[in-house]
């Protein structure tokens, strides 16, 4: 019985192995899923590879779906770091969407949330 | 579109390799050999054929290169092909990206190679040896510059340029061998057609020269190939457990077959060409046939390369371990078994030596095979000593990065799904534990550190026996990784408190965090390294000196205050619910009861000590605290056994 369960689960596990493309979000500030007391003035996204600035971007949306960012740009000194400037944020939940092109020509995208206020 | 990209890449690699290989062949093999050829007309016909091969491959290389660029453009823009032309995507792609720049440079190189082909003369190749060198160099650059379109270009680490240079050399070496094979086969065909003693000598010299060139190419391929595999696959599980790694294995097998054929050519067939013998005619035919077989194998390698570049390298994918056991990494750490394990390793080495010796020492062949077999049987009976159970997910790496959020999420999940059997603190003593066979594991015991994250992931996902149900059905993957992070943090907390009671030393990893400082800066935990720091969980009720950070609101959660443990530097603080939960896990309580708890973190960032009101000795006594800090500064932390908590990708 246990063996059958295990075999039945194989495709489940196999299928959910993340099909990574190439530039992954290494970490972010505010941290992925975190709650911060004070409103950040920007979101910083560190990636595992250098990005192509011409084809990399990010947006920050509030819970109503309105854009609260002032644009994203790749740091010229560190091409694996993208900064998104923010309008003044009120307490609430925010979602960051990013879509980037790594220098080895692979596009990746993803999103995460953070929360402002207690 | 993925399959189309693979095909276009494969065609581009093959045609560029053939183009580059042709120039390298003329420089190192064809040119010198043909100088001494007697039959002018036949040699001119051979050169005409070479020129046709060159033009054809240049055309295919340009067309497939343009196709590759278009496919990349389509993928980046997510546009239809009509839009790709109407929008300004293509110029931006060419001018503003590394890939586009590489393509511009490579188009320039292709143009120069076209000029070079125009100057190639059917009577005497190029006018001078120098021109032949320049042409070969340009061709090598065209091949090597493909490295900038591959994975090597994106390596941001310090060794990125080594990786890139290795890639470029690998490509040039591959074209030197695979790309020079068709011209070599054509040369042998011409020699066969002309016939006679003189052409046989020409074929022999060409084979000798090609074989020398091949040795250089194969050694370069070996060294740079191993280097690239280390960069992009990194480990045995990556090699056998990912699609990328398995394709590398296919490539290695094909490479091995090519080398074997080359060895036969060099040591078996070449000697038969040296003088006119009855066997030299058939030997020449076999050489020609082998050259085409090698070319075919080489194209298969290039097809694999076409696919490899489109998929994530093994270092970025989860490795699915195909064996039910793996090497036990702790075998050499257990004093009782160390000797036995070392003995087994020595026996394996001896058996391998005996069998390798049997291949070379004909006189001792049978005794050595017998000795090797006896050793192998003996090792076989003991090899289980070196091995430990493994599961398909044993080498999976946690994608959570051991974040405070993950540990906090895991804490709630543990309370909901696990505590009834494993107990609230994970000691295996939950209310439902009594009737379970096997009994639930104590998740705070030392053994928890000897299992990889991937092992824990497998057990949580699939259950254990009849007692533990498979949680893959109820919890998604992230939730299961969150649980593993909590289990580690919880076990760490129990070890920390135990070490305080017994006066022993531990060093535990903290999740990443950052705090706000009075000067307006946000400082990360990493930036605080280099000094012993004190962490205080300060609330209005806390007696510690940092109570002012809690603010006036009595119902507010404690603030996490961080300051240098020595000196009088200003304190930084943060309100961070997740981090508060983590500190509560260390203390073995809930966040509402954690106020007043203090921690010490050493200069390397290891969590070293915990204290709360009521514990002796009392940290409120400055002398006691100073003693504790001095102790931490003098003794390095004993980091807990490494888990596979490698940084998330």
Comparing A67-71, B38-42, B590-594, B620-624, the range with the smallest average pLDDT is B38-42
> Residues of A numbered 50-89 whose beta carbons fall under 8 angstroms of chain B's beta carbons: which are they?
50, 52-55, 80
Residue of B nearest to A113 (CA): B405
Question: Residue B644 corresponds to which tokens in the numbers above?
Answer: 């596979």
Percent of chain A at pLDDT exceeding 90: 36
Break chain A down into helix, strand, coil percent, rounded to 5.
Answer: 15, 45, 40
User: Please, which residues have CB within 8 angstroms of residue B130's CB and are 6 or more apart in sequence?
Assistant: none
Closest CA to A26 of A83, A93, A80, A84: A80
- The DSSP secondary-structure symbol of B151 reads G
Burial class (CB in 10 A: 0-12, 13-18, 19+), A54: middle
> What's the rounded mean pLDDT across residues B175-186?
94
pLDDT over threshold 60, residue A5: no
Give me the pLDDT at residue B438, please.
84
pLDDT over threshold 50, residue B189: yes
User: Please, which residues have CB within 8 angstroms of residue B300's CB and are 6 or more apart in sequence?
Assistant: B254
In sequence order, what DSSP letters do the residues of B73-93 get, joined into one string? HHHHHT--HHHHHHSSHHHHH
- Residues from chain B that touch A17, judged by Cβ atoms under 8 A, are 317-318, 320
Q: DSSP 3-state assignment of B594?
A: coil
- Residues from chain A that touch B99, judged by Cβ atoms under 8 A, are 52, 103-105
Burial class (CB in 10 A: 0-12, 13-18, 19+), B177: buried
pLDDT over threshold 70, residue B554: no
CB A17 to CB B317 under 8 A? Answer: yes
In sequence order, what DSSP letters do the residues of B426-494 get, joined into one string? SSS--TT-TT-SSPPP-TTSGGGGGS-HHHHHHHHHH-BTTTB--TTTTS-HHHHHHHHHHHHHHHHHH
Residue A8: pLDDT band with limits 50, 70, 90: very low
Q: Identify from B79, B95, B156, B406 which residue to disrupt to test chain A contact, counting A C-beta atoms within 10 A and taking the largest count.
A: B156
Of A9, A49, A107, the CB nearest to B76: A107
More confidently predicted of B197 and B166: B166
> What's the rounded mean pLDDT across residues B399-424?
91
Comparing B62-76, B102-116, B173-187, B542-556, the range with the smallest average pLDDT is B542-556
Please state, in angstroms and rounded to a whole number, the distance separating the CA atoms of residues B374 and B236. 28
Please state, in angstroms and rounded to a whole number, the distance separating the CA atoms of residues B38 and B40. 6
Q: Decide if A104 touches B, using CB distance below 8 A.
A: yes
With b for 16 or more beta-carbon neighbours within 10 A and e for fewer, the B72-94 pattern comes to bbbbbbeeeeeebeeeebeebbb
- Residues from chain B that touch A50, judged by Cβ atoms under 8 A, are 154, 156
- The DSSP secondary-structure symbol of B134 reads H
Question: Residue A95 corresponds to which tokens in the numbers above?
Answer: 């979602």
Angle at B268 between CA B45 and CA B28, to 5 degrees: 40
Percent of chain B at pLDDT exceeding 70: 91
Q: Please check whether residue B541 is in contact with residue B596, taking contact to mean a CB–CB distance below 8 angstroms.
A: yes
Please state, in angstroms and rounded to a whole number, the distance separating the CA atoms of residues B141 and B172. 8
Pairing of strands A69-74, A81-86: antiparallel
> What's the rounded mean pLDDT across residues B413-438?
90
Give me the pLDDT at residue B549, please.
61
β-sheet with A35-36: strand ranges across = A35-36, A107-116, A92-101, A57-62
How many C-beta atoms lie closer than 10 Å to residue B621's C-beta?
10
Of A5, A32, A35, the CB nearest to B577: A35
pLDDT over threshold 70, residue B218: yes
pLDDT over threshold 50, residue A6: no
Residue with structure tokens 């070449």?
A: B270
pLDDT over threshold 90, residue B248: yes
Helix count and strand count (H, E) for chain B: 22, 9
The answer to whether the bond into B374 is cis (omega within 30° of 0) is no
Of B98, B399, B575, the CB nearest to A37: B575
Q: Please check whether residue B396 is in contact with residue A13, taking contact to mean a CB–CB distance below 8 angstroms.
A: no
Closest CA to B244 of A24, A97, A19: A19
CB B463 to CB A101 under 8 A? Answer: no
Please state, in angstroms and rounded to a whole number, the distance separating the CA atoms of residues B29 and B183. 10
Give me the pLDDT at residue A19, please.
32
Q: DSSP 3-state assignment of B495?
A: helix
| Shortest CA gap A61–chain B (Å) | 21
Helix count and strand count (H, E) for chain A: 1, 8
Comparing A63-67, B219-223, B500-504, the range with the smallest average pLDDT is B500-504
> What's the rounded mean pLDDT across residues B443-461?
90
Please state, in angstroms and rounded to a whole number, the distance separating the CA atoms of residues B514 and B572. 9
Residue of B nearest to A30 (CA): B514
* CATH number for the domain running over A20-116: 2.60.40.1220
Give me the pLDDT at residue A32, please.
81
Please state, in angstroms and rounded to a whole number, the distance separating the CA atoms of residues B194 and B606. 78
Helix B181-194 / helix B2-25 crossing angle, nearest 10 deg: 50
> Residues of B numbered 195-234 whose beta carbons fall under 8 angstroms of chain A's beta carbons: which are they?
none
Give me the pLDDT at residue B646, please.
36
B587, containing H or E segment: helix B577-587
Give me the pLDDT at residue B391, please.
92
Q: DSSP 3-state assignment of B583?
A: helix
Helix B280-308 / helix B181-194 crossing angle, nearest 10 deg: 160
Helix B89-96 / helix B40-77 crossing angle, nearest 10 deg: 110
Residue A88: pLDDT band with limits 50, 70, 90: very high
Pairing of strands B533-538, B598-601: antiparallel
How many C-beta atoms lie closer than 10 Å to residue B1's C-beta?
9
pLDDT over threshold 70, residue B138: yes
CB B156 to CB A35 under 8 A? Answer: no
pLDDT over threshold 50, residue B522: yes
Give me the pLDDT at residue B598, please.
92
């Amino acid at each position: 019985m246990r063996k059958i369960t295990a075999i039945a689960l194989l495709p489940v596990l196999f299928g959910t192995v993340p099909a990574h493309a190439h530039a992954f979000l290494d970490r972010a500030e505010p941290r992925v899923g975190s709650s911060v007391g004070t409103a950040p003035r920007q979101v910083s996204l560190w990636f595992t590879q250098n990005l192509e600035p011409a084809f990399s971007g990010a947006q920050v949306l509030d819970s109503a779906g309105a854009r609260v960012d002032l644009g994203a740009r790749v740091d010229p000194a560190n091409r694996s770091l993208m900064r998104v400037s923010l309008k003044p944020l009120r307490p609430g939940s925010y979602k960051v969407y990013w879509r980037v092109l790594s220098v080895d020509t692979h596009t990746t995208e993803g999103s995460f949330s953070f929360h402002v206020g207690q | 579109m993925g399959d189309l990209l693979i095909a276009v890449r494969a065609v581009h690699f093959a045609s560029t390799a053939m183009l580059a290989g042709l120039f390298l062949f003329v420089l190192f093999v064809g040119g010198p050999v043909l100088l001494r050829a007697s039959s002018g007309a036949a040699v001119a016909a051979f050169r005409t054929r070479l020129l046709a091969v060159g033009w054809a491959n240049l055309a295919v290389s340009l067309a497939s290169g343009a196709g590759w660029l278009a496919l990349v453009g389509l993928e980046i823009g997510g546009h239809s092909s009509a839009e790709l032309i109407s929008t300004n995507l293509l110029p931006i792609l060419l001018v503003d990206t590394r890939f586009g720049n590489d393509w511009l440079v490579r188009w320039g190189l292709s143009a120069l190679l076209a000029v070079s082909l125009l100057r190639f003369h059917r009577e005497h190749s190029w006018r001078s040896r120098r021109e032949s060198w320049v042409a070969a160099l340009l061709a090598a650059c065209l091949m090597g510059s493909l490295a900038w379109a591959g994975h090597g270009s994106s390596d941001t680490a310090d060794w990125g340029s080594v990786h890139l240079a290795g890639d470029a050399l690998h490509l040039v070496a591959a074209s030197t061998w695979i790309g020079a094979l068709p011209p070599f086969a054509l040369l042998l065909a011409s020699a066969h057609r002309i016939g006679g003693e003189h052409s046989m000598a020409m074929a022999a010299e060409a084979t000798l020269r090609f074989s020398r060139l091949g040795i250089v190419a194969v050694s370069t391929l070996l060294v740079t190939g191993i280097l690239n595999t280390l960069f992009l696959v990194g480990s045995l599980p990556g090699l056998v457990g990912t699609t990328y790694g398995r394709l590398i294995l296919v490539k290695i097998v094909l490479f091995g077959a090519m080398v074997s054929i080359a060895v036969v050519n060099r040591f078996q067939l070449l000697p038969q060409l040296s003088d006119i013998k009855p066997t030299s005619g058939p030997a020449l035919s076999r050489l020609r046939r082998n050259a085409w077989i090698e070319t075919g194998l080489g194209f298969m390698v290039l097809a694999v390369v076409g696919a490899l570049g489109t998929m994530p390298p093994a270092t970025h994918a989860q490795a699915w371990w195909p064996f039910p056991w793996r090497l036990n990494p702790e075998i050499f750490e257990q004093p009782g078994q160390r000797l036995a394990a070392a003995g087994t390793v020595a026996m394996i080495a001896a058996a391998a030596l005996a069998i390798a010796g049997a291949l070379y020492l004909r006189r001792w062949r049978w005794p050595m095979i017998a000795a090797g077999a006896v050793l192998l049987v003996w090792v076989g009976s003991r090899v289980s000593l070196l091995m430990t159970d493994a599961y398909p997910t044993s080498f999976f790496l946690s994608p959570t990065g051991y974040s405070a959020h993950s540990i906090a999420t895991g804490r709630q999940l543990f309370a909901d799904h696990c505590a009834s059997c494993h107990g609230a603190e994970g000691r295996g003593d939950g209310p439902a534990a009594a009737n379970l066979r096997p009994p639930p594991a104590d998740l705070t015991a030392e053994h928890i550190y000897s299992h990889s994250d991937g092992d824990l992931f497998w057990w949580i996902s699939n259950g254990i026996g009849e007692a533990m149900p498979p949680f893959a059905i109820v919890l998604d993957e992230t939730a299961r990784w969150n649980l593993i992070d909590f289990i580690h943090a919880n076990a760490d907390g129990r070890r920390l408190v135990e070490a305080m009671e017994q006066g022993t030393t531990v060093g535990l990893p903290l999740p990443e965090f950052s705090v706000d400082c009075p000067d307006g800066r946000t400082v990360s935990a990493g930036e605080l390294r280099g000094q012993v720091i004190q962490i205080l969980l300060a609330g209005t009720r806390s007696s510690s000196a940092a109570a002012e950070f809690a603010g006036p609101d009595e119902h507010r959660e404690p603030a996490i205050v961080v300051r240098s443990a020595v000196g009088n530097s200003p304190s930084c603080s943060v309100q961070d619910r997740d981090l508060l939960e983590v500190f509560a896990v260390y203390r073995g309580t809930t966040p509402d009861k954690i106020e007043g708890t203090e921690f010490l973190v050493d200069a390397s960032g290891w969590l070293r000590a915990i204290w709360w009101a009521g514990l002796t000795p009392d940290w409120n006594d400055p002398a006691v605290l100073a003693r504790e800090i001095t102790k931490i500064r003098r003794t390095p932390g004993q980091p807990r056994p490494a888990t596979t908590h490698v940084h998330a990708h």
